[in-house]
Amino acid sequence: MKLQFFLAAPLLALAVNAVAAQPKTRFMDHSNQNLIDEAAAIAVMNENIPERVWKIHPASRYIFTSQVEGGITPSGTCVVAARVILMPLTGAAKAVLFRPQKTATAFDAVPGANLDRCRDLARAKLKEATVAVVSAIVKS
């Protein structure tokens, strides 16, 4: 009897922690660090993905991935492409399964832009791609 109680208390504590640890959002970023860092990319997606999306596609089963690539060409043109993909996670391991559910890409080029202007463009294009994926899932 004491052994059962002795084992039940830690198991109950672990179960409570496991339930509490479920994320409400899940993001992954594979961007060019010269254009946008991971924290900024995740912040842009988090600001533009409403709670309604996570009710339809819960973070326990889906992940949003982003990729921003580009840079400044030798002629001084800033070229940026941003892609956002909603992908499922595997059941047990919660690994990303490359079977895109929704995808959006936004791109642009600005001649004569410096690095700061190019970074601003990268954020804007990531926001545009994120909003496009969200609009395919929920009505605004």
Q: Does residue 28 lie within any of the structural domains? A: yes
CATH number, domain containing residue 95: 3.30.160
pLDDT at residue 2, as a whole number: 59
pTM value > 0.85: no
pLDDT digits (tens, 9 = 90+) for 58-70: 999 999 999 999 9
Judge whether residue 87 has pLDDT over 80. Answer: yes
Name the maximum alpha-carbon separation found in the chain: 78
In the block, which residue shows the tokens 């089963």? 61
Helices and strands (H and E) in the chain: how many: 4, 4
pLDDT at residue 20, as a whole number: 46
Q: Does residue 14 lie within any of the structural domains? A: no
Q: Does residue 10 lie within any of the structural domains? A: no
Q: Does residue 13 lie within any of the structural domains? A: no
Q: Does residue 49 lie within any of the structural domains? A: yes
Report the alpha-carbon angle 34-37-42, nearest 5: 150
pLDDT digits (tens, 9 = 90+) for 1-48: 555 555 555 655 555 555 445 557 899 999 999 999 999 999 999 999
Residue 21 CA to residue 62 CA, distance in Å, equals: 16
Average pLDDT over residues 125-138: 96
Average pLDDT over residues 116-139: 95
Residue 3 CA to residue 8 CA, distance in Å, equals: 8
In one-letter notation, the amino acid at residue 108 is D
Q: Does residue 29 lie within any of the structural domains? A: yes
> Terminus-to-terminus CA distance in the chain, angstroms?
57
pLDDT at residue 93, as a whole number: 80
Give the domain range for residue 75: 23-137
For the CA atoms of 89, 107, 139, 61, the dihedral, rounded to the nearest 10 degrees, stands at 0
Across the chain, mean pLDDT equals 87
Q: Does residue 130 lie within any of the structural domains? A: yes
Q: How many domains does the chain have?
A: 1
